Amino acid sequence: MSLTPHRANFSTAWAPAKVNLYLHVGPPGAGGLHPLDSLVVFADTRAADRISARPAPQLSLRVEGPGAKQLKNAPNNLTLAAAMALRDACERGGLGAGLVLHKELPIAGGVGGGSSDAAATLHVLNEMWGIEFGEAALERLAIQLGSDVPACVRLRPLVMRGTGERLLDIVTPDLPAVLVNPGIKLETRKVFDRFDQLGASRTFRETDPPWGHDVASLAGALQDYRNDLQAAAIALCSEVERALNMIRAEPGCLLARMSGSGPTCFGLFADDASAEAAARKIAEVKRKYWVRATTLRGVSSAPNN
């Protein structure tokens, strides 16, 4: 099934992992939020949750899949929050839907699982309820749900700036990759707190994103960029560094880095076969890790922003 959010049958949509190829972070502003500058890409369906919806008199949510148990008592599930926000925005309070979230992505994993679920829910219900909000309207609505949700609504390679509300489409190639989560939750707030404690806020400025016509050239260009939260995450969770070292040690690895606020790490690989072999090897050695080979989907031309 296509990851493209615009398709005729919208009762089911994929909610793929969001990967920050780099993440530059500035010092917190007056409201306590940190300005960001990040290149974001999305995985294929091998690293994705799935949202399904059916007509129903009221809003309800059932969570299934490997991550269901961890979400059972979550008080602020973004899937339901997205459904209610869309219903409120169109001022049709009587709308209902039976939602099913099949949860595959790690919880508090740095790959925007909850944000991607929320974005997929917006797309599914926008279609099923016949609201017909355009992408820009959905992105504006997404801002109130979380800083990553507007990017997940757009669901294509982009640079994310400000606190997530400024998005710039860019061109990237398809990137063979491995995602590795050490099976440990890492709260975003705690990582940012440690980042501030470490005094790691460099002189922050927005930079032009790197360019590469294939995975090797883009991985090479990305060496001059960084994830500013990586040191803070490692200080809180040493397993992040172990995961990075395991990825780097695999044949064909071109770049290993943490995504978002962690603890999920990614490796870019020379080709699909290398990525798949690395995923098999790491999963065999670390059975408690969540490991997926995937393709981080590129685009050959970016729409006008």
How far, in Å, CA of 258 to CA of 27, rounded? 20
pLDDT in tens, 60-79: 999 999 888 877 665 558 99
Residue 144: the pLDDT is 94
Of 59-63, 87-91, 266-270, which has the strongest mean pLDDT? 266-270
Q: What is the largest CA-CA distance in the chain?
A: 55
Alpha-carbon distance 209 to 256, whole Å?
18
Residue 262 φ/ψ region, left for φ over 0, alpha for ψ in the -120 to 50 degree band, beta for the rest: left
Higher pLDDT, 185 or 38: 38
Catalytic option among 49, 117, 148, 228: 148
**pTM summary value:** 0.92
Q: Which residues pair with 159 in a beta bridge?
A: 39, 168
Please identify which of the residues 18, 37, 44, 117 carries the catalytic annotation.
18
Rounded Cα distance between 67 and 256, Å, is 25
Q: Is 18 a catalytic residue?
A: yes
Topology of domain 12-169 in CATH is: Ribosomal Protein S5; domain 2 (3.30.230)
Residue 192 has pLDDT above 60, yes or no: yes
Q: Across-strand partners of 15?
A: 49
What residue ranges do the domains of the chain occupy?
Answer: 12-169, 175-296
Full DSSP string of 6-18: --S--SEEEEEPE
Write the pLDDT tens digit of every residue in 91-124: 888 899 999 999 999 988 999 999 999 999 999 9
- The confidence band for 272, taking pLDDT boundaries of 50, 70 and 90, is very high
**What is the mean predicted confidence (pLDDT) over 40-44?**
98
Q: Are strands 166-169 and 158-162 parallel, antiparallel or unpaired?
A: antiparallel
At 9, the amino acid letter reads N
- Portion of the chain with pLDDT greater than 90, in percent: 83
175-296 falls under which CATH superfamily? GHMP kinase, C-terminal domain (3.30.70.890)
Q: Which residues make Cβ contacts (< 8 Å) with residue 148, sequence separation at least 6? A: 18, 112, 115, 116, 160, 164, 260
What is the model's pLDDT at position 8?
35
Q: What phi and psi values does residue 188 have, to the nearest 5 degrees?
A: -55, -45
Q: Is the pLDDT of residue 5 over 50?
A: no
Mean pLDDT in residue range 125-149: 95
Closest by alpha carbon to 289, among 248, 253, 260, 246? 246
